[in-house]
Amino acid sequence: MIKYIITFVTFMVALSTTAQENKHKFGEASLEEISMKAYPKDSSADAVVLYDYGETNFRYTNNNIFIVLKQHKKVKILKKSALDRASSSVLLYKVGNNEERVFDIKGFTYNLIDGKVVKDKLSKDMIFKEKSSDNYTNHKFTLPNVKEGSVIEYSYEIETPMTLSHNPKMWIFQNDIPVVWSEYRIDIPNIFYYTMLMSGYLPLAINEKKPINIRFAGSDMPGVSYRFVVENGAAFKNEPYITTALDYVSKIDFELASIDWTGVLTKNFSLDYASMNKTLLVDYNLEEQLRKTNFLKNIAKEIKAKNADTLSQWRAAKNYVFSNIKWDGKSSIYSTGLKKVFDKKEGDAGDINLLLTALLREMGYDANPLILSTRSNGYINETYALLKKFNYLVAYMNYYGKDIFLDATDEFADVGVVPTRCLNKKGWLVHPTEARFVSLIPKEQDREYKKAEFVLNEEGELSGKMSFSYAGYGAIRAKSDLKETGQEKYLEKVKKDNPSWSISKVQYSNTEPNNRAMEAAFELNINEHVTKAGNVLYLKPILSNDYAENPFKASERSFPVDFGCSLDETYMANFEIPEGYKVIEAPKSASITLPSDGGRFSYMVRVDGRKINVVSKIQLKKPIYYAEEYLFLKEFFDKIIEKNQEQVVIKKEN
């Protein structure tokens, strides 16, 4: 029987114990620490965590199990910009009288004054208990006499009743400043079985596990003691186009899989996906909720009567739920009661999409709930089932082998696709017999098509038409934007983005939720785009300003670039130049591809008498690019920018 599981995701490498021991006694700071002027491993750091130590134990008192975390942290302040780190806080959760508590907040500041170490104590009047809201209390403390060069240190103990949370708090090894030594220990009695999940990009310097005897609930019982250390952890740096920083930072997290306490309590949670599936169907009541759907019978009947084909029936069901149940903006993976939600006319994503699943079933379709983790909530680990990592539910159907997703929280995500916020690798289909992972990587792309038809006069003025067409994920975005801002404000934004455009007419089509491309068409004059120099005109045929700056400016990158979906953009323009003029120089056609057919950019200018035709096409074929592909991606955008700036030289013939 496998008793404990530890996973190392992606780059996390478990090294053997070669690291030097690093012990810090509370209440002491070495002269070396206090006189340190800069951190040699990262000279840009304005502070450095010298020591961050956490230790979790289980305690049994008064018929209650408590998870107790002791934390001890020591920070060196190197620059004035880091002075705010002298204030910290402990946030405690509570529900009624069931509450977390903090004990022994202690702290010291160490300064070097006239060559001597001066130690100031955190006194009671520097600790403030503040009620943040009905469910949270914050204990704030601020250390005395902290200045450039100070070393600060604090420790405390947080006690969490297991009735409030089953799981030890996540331990994060990395910080926004470098961490010299981050150590986490946990002693677990064998009656608790935790799935432990490590993730991030920093290697472990120490990774130990040994059997011990633990004094728990009045007796000695076998248990396991773990110890993890990250040494010299670099400061965590955020980058654009990632899901959420927490996906990339080095950390360890826990979820209770089972309790096996003979004679007291035996309970399985979600050790693997099969039992997680069962937990959802039984404990989260999904199965039963989807059976008691009688109250939807008449609505189902009506939808079927009004809509003949399958697709329009699905759409009608989704629209019914969208327009009758208001989304409160929250997400969940279950419902507190479908009938209740139906009557209240408001609910979270779990409520709404489970209701949609129920309605589809009433209509005779084999719809099932699919749970996932939204982009801002982070990645799902496919090996180990951590139920709390899922935060969202959509309705799912398999229709002749095709994956159909439905989400009634989003007006514009058409039947078949999930909204952009859900584009996060894979979801779990909750099903009594056919539960499995379903890919969320969309076949649908973010598609844009821009078309321009202009006549150029001798003054260098352009007059004509321009249309923007958005399809796929582009349509979801454009339609939502238009609805949210309103047509008037939307046009104002177009005008502001393009100050040289005088728009005389605008027309929007396909703005309603459907699978067609939305189009915004303008009739306009552009008087300040072309440079006129005597009898020469210089025309930049790309009229939009979409690619003026490279989105990737950093010279290197350590995380993947995650766009969510692939992209396809086409720009096509036709210009007619004035009579008596001739193109004397035109940009060269060019094309560039990303390695292993990951993307393609092509640019072409054709001149035919007084007609100029320009086509620029950008394809990013993958939703996610690896860090190794970063430099190619950066170069790819540089090329786009370069070609976007090129100009046609037009001269009057004598």
- Do 454 and 463 contact (CB within 8 A), yes or no? yes
Whole-angstrom Cα distance, residue 652 to residue 534? Answer: 9
Which CB sits closer to another protein, 45 or 452?
Answer: 45
553 binds another protein (CB under 8 A): yes
CA 523 distance to own-chain centroid: 39
Q: How far is the CB of 511 from another protein (least distance, A)?
A: 18
Whole-angstrom Cα distance, residue 273 to residue 251? Answer: 22
Q: Given candidates 146, 197, 202, 429, which one binds another protein under the rule CB under 8 A?
A: 146
| Piece of the chain touching another protein by CB under 8 A; list 297-305, 416-424, 445-453, 640-648 | 640-648
174 binds another protein (CB under 8 A): no
- Residue 81: DSSP 8-state: G
Q: Which of residues 73-102 bind another protein (CB under 8 A)?
A: 79-81, 83-84, 86-89
Which CB sits closer to another protein, 135 or 163?
Answer: 135
* Residues facing 194 on adjacent strands: 256
Alpha-carbon distances of 255 from 186, 367, 378, 388, 480, rounded to whole Å: 14, 29, 16, 8, 37
HSE toward the beta carbon, residue 397, CA cutoff 13 A? 22
Which run of H or of E encompasses 357?
helix 349-362
3-state secondary structure of 167: coil
- Do 428 and 435 contact (CB within 8 A), yes or no? yes
Q: How far is the CB of 137 from another protein (least distance, A)?
A: 9
Whole-angstrom Cα distance, residue 39 to residue 48? Answer: 7
3-state secondary structure of 555: coil
Q: How far is the CB of 497 from another protein (least distance, A)?
A: 9
Length of the chain: 654
Alpha-carbon distances of 644 from 171, 510, 524, 593, rounded to whole Å: 47, 29, 21, 17
Q: Given candidates 288, 512, 579, 642, which one binds another protein under the rule CB under 8 A?
A: 642
Which CB sits closer to another protein, 55 or 120?
Answer: 120
Q: Given candidates 21, 134, 608, 653, which one binds another protein under the rule CB under 8 A?
A: 134
Q: How many CB atoms are closer than 10 A to CB 164?
A: 15
Q: Given candidates 18, 61, 62, 555, which one binds another protein under the rule CB under 8 A?
A: 555
Which CB sits closer to another protein, 140 or 465?
Answer: 140
Q: What angle do CA 181, 184, 186 make, to 5 degrees?
A: 160
Q: Given candidates 512, 528, 597, 628, which one binds another protein under the rule CB under 8 A?
A: 528
- Residue 279: DSSP 8-state: I
Q: Given candidates 131, 210, 402, 505, which one binds another protein under the rule CB under 8 A?
A: 131
Q: Please tell me the count of residues contacting another protein according to CB under 8 A.
A: 66
632 binds another protein (CB under 8 A): no
| Tokens coding 237 | 């740096």
| Torsion angle, alpha carbons of 523, 527, 530, 536, to 10 | 120
Q: Given candidates 587, 598, 599, 623, which one binds another protein under the rule CB under 8 A?
A: 587
Q: Which of 399, 389, 281 has the alpha carbon at shortest distance from 334?
A: 281
330 binds another protein (CB under 8 A): no
Which CB sits closer to another protein, 91 or 624?
Answer: 91
Strands (E), 251-292: 251-261, 265-268
Q: How far is the CB of 40 from another protein (least distance, A)?
A: 14
> How do strand 326-327 and strand 346-347 relate by DSSP bridges?
parallel
Q: Which of 385, 399, 381 has the alpha carbon at shortest distance from 430?
A: 385
Stretch 291-320: interaction string toward another protein, x if CB under 8 A: ------------------------------
| Piece of the chain touching another protein by CB under 8 A; list 145-153, 206-214, 575-583, 606-614 | 145-153
CA 522 distance to own-chain centroid: 35
Q: How far is the CB of 500 from another protein (least distance, A)?
A: 7
Which are the contacts of 109, defined by CB distance < 8 A and separation ≥ 6?
Answer: 86, 119, 120, 122, 143, 144, 145, 146, 150, 151, 152, 153
Q: Given candidates 28, 220, 283, 346, which one binds another protein under the rule CB under 8 A?
A: 346
Whole-angstrom Cα distance, residue 525 to residue 540? Answer: 15
Alpha-carbon distances of 8 from 178, 183, 256, rounded to whole Å: 22, 17, 18
| Piece of the chain touching another protein by CB under 8 A; list 25-33, 374-382, 527-535, 595-603 | 527-535
Q: Supply the angle between the helices 310-324 and 349-362 in degrees, to the nearest 10.
A: 140
Q: Which amino acid is at 13?
A: V
538 binds another protein (CB under 8 A): yes
Which CB sits closer to another protein, 257 or 356?
Answer: 356
Q: What angle do CA 425, 427, 433 make, to 5 degrees?
A: 145
Q: How far is the CB of 563 from another protein (least distance, A)?
A: 19
Q: Which of 374, 370, 138 has the alpha carbon at shortest distance from 246?
A: 374
Query: What is the C-alpha R_g of the chain?
Result: 31
525 binds another protein (CB under 8 A): no
382 binds another protein (CB under 8 A): no
Q: How far is the CB of 638 from another protein (least distance, A)?
A: 5
Q: How far is the CB of 326 from another protein (least distance, A)?
A: 5
Stretch 29-48: interaction string toward another protein, x if CB under 8 A: --------------xxxx--
Which CB sits closer to another protein, 122 or 517?
Answer: 122
Q: How far is the CB of 269 from another protein (least distance, A)?
A: 30
499 binds another protein (CB under 8 A): yes
| Piece of the chain touching another protein by CB under 8 A; list 130-138, 312-320, 381-389, 564-572 | 130-138
Whole-angstrom Cα distance, residue 54 to residue 68? Answer: 10
Q: Given candidates 531, 535, 558, 591, which one binds another protein under the rule CB under 8 A?
A: 531
Which CB sits closer to another protein, 139 or 166?
Answer: 139
Q: How far is the CB of 130 from another protein (least distance, A)?
A: 5
Q: How far is the CB of 63 from another protein (least distance, A)?
A: 29
Q: Given candidates 312, 398, 463, 647, which one binds another protein under the rule CB under 8 A?
A: 647
Which residues in this chain contact another protein in the complex, by CB under 8 A? 43-46, 79-81, 83-84, 86-89, 109, 120, 126, 128, 130-134, 138, 140, 142, 144-148, 235, 237, 325-326, 344-346, 492, 495-496, 499-500, 528, 531, 533-534, 536, 538, 548-550, 553, 555, 585-588, 634, 637-638, 641-642, 645-647, 649
